[in-house]
Structure 1
Amino acid sequence: MTDNPIKTSVTGHILEVTLDRPKANAIDLKTSRIMGDIFTDFRDNPDLRVVIVTGAGEKFFCPGWDLKAAAGGDAVDGDYGKGGFGGLQELRGLNKPVIAAVNGICCGGGLELALSADIILAADHATFALPEIRSGTVADAASIKLPKRIPYHIAMEMLLTGRWIEVEEAARWGLVNHVLPAADLMSEARKMAELLASGPPLVYAAIKEVVREAEDMKFQDAMNRITKSQFETVERLYRSEDQLEGARAFAEKRDPVWKGR
């Protein structure tokens, strides 16, 4: 077992986070706390605009909770750290784009980690499942998120039976955005990240807050919150230099230069 279960690298405004815990990239309490610190720093660092989350190796993205660690004393209800399990799924105020590059088996808490991303790219050999039912436990975050992301009956079948789906089926139900040859996965994820990093960060923040907060609201209630200046990110955008820059760039027929302020 590596002493450093999470590898990070920064290129420009892009952070890459690689889960590296041989043999399967499972997450124990210590790893989850490290991930929480990394994603919190990403959220709060104005120089970082996009994050790519992936797994080391070619077989596993992440199988979720480390059952061997649990057998050794890690409590399933222990301290996962900032952002909850894997550092992402309960991290408040994360208003920057998150890309999951699923490089292999993605199941249990690993699928919940991927569901915490905004965009999911998957290698052509990736597979997905929620096998918690077979060990007598509940995939709690997936029970909340998955029926909202894919057709209800498909989500319930996965939750109630634990069956595996291949990447082509995952794409058919809209669980992943794009299926890619394994050799191209990270290069395409980086292209996507570069595209997002070149965009307006204040707009991304507004989009993410509105989408997140409006998920369980009626349409008109959400619109009323916008018109009454009750979304902080939207108000910041409308009072920003970037808002003026966008208009000027359009009028001057040039590419805008986004400063995030």
Structure 2
Amino acid sequence: MTEVRTERIGSTLLITIDRPQARNAVNAAVATQLAAALDDLESDPTLRVGVLTGAENTFSAGMDLKAALTGESPEIPGRGFGGLTEAELTKPLIAAVEGFAMGGGFELALGCDLIVAGEDAKFGLPEVKRGLIAAGGGVIRLPKRIPHHLAMEFLLTGEPITGRRAGELGLVNRVTPNGDAAAVALQLAEKLAENAPLALAAVKKIVRGSEAKAFAVQREETKKLMQSKDVREGMTAFAERRAPKWTGE
């Protein structure tokens, strides 16, 4: 089943997560197919920029917790969540966000170089509500994008904000009327494609250079959490649509 669609628009590859029945949540199939789409972007010299979006006005609700409970992984070794968050891409990638960008969905957007958002989009990192941390780049990247205490509020409360508020915080590059994020992202992609590809790749390499070490440290902390009873309880409570009962174990 195709759960990630691609469309070439000029020198831009439009990549769409297409699981609207699950609010475009990321399971193993999405991760594998998204990684393949990014490989296509990287390997084709006539493609200069990628735009990542989600079907039916939802970017992504993040990790598919029901799939995770069965042991299915939304990560690709060496490439991180969704095959994107730790991938070493040389070409610019723009997130076009409508609707929910929650948890891993928000982290997919943070893994992109630019973000365009509809004014009523919802950004949030609710992992702490499930006994987890935002280990797909949220803990590492968000404090570098907005002021420290605002980032900590995101990470510690798990509460979302709108695309409009994200624009006020400087978290996104463009805020658009609802439904226009992909079109504006494609226009922005055209501007990026006018520039020298080697220079764009060099900028990305330098800016992202310090992140690999941070992800290595984070993996150790995440491993400990994943062995806890609270993580299992958080995921089970979500699947059963009830409040979790934390034990701190």
Residue 202 of structure 1 is aligned with which of 192, 198, 201?
Answer: 198
* Cα displacement (A) at 1:44: 2.4
Distance 2:206 2:20 in 1: 38
What is the identity, as a one-letter code, of the residue corresponding to 1:142?
G
> Residue in 2 aligned with 1:108?
103
Distance 1:187 1:167 in 2: 16
**Superposition pairs for residues 101-250 of structure 1, below 5 Å?**
101-140=96-135, 141-213=137-209
Worse-superposed segment, 191-200 or 23-32: 191-200
**Residues 156-212 of structure 1: per-residue CA shift (max 9 Å, x gap):** 111111011122221111111111012322221111111112222122112112222
Distance 1:121 1:162 in 2: 22
3-state DSSP class of the match of 2:180?
helix
Distance 1:37 1:184 in 2: 26
What is the identity, as a one-letter code, of the residue corresponding to 1:17?
I
* Cα displacement (A) at 1:130: 0.6
**Residues 104-133 of structure 1: per-residue CA shift (max 9 Å, x gap):** 111100010000111100011101111111
Worse-superposed segment, 66-75 or 143-152: 66-75
| Runs of 4+ more than 6 Å apart | none
Unpaired stretches in structure 1, ≥5 consecutive residues: 217-261
Distance 2:73 2:18 in 1: 21
Distance 1:179 1:158 in 2: 20
> Residue in 2 aligned with 1:27?
26
The structure, 1 or 2, with the larger RCO (C-alpha pairs under 8 Å, 6+ apart) is 2
Residue 84 of structure 1 is aligned with which of 70, 73, 80?
Answer: 80
Equivalent pairs counted in the alignment come to: 210
Unpaired stretches in structure 2, ≥5 consecutive residues: 213-249
Contact 2:120 2:164 in 1 (8 A): no
Contact 1:5 1:21 in 2 (8 A): yes
Distance 2:78 2:6 in 1: 18
Distance 2:131 2:6 in 1: 34
**Residues 59-107 of structure 1: per-residue CA shift (max 9 Å, x gap):** x21011001212333147xx52562211221112x12111100011111
Query: TM-score when scaled to structure 1?
Result: 0.76
Distance 1:191 1:22 in 2: 25
> Residue in 2 aligned with 1:61?
59
RMSD: 1.8
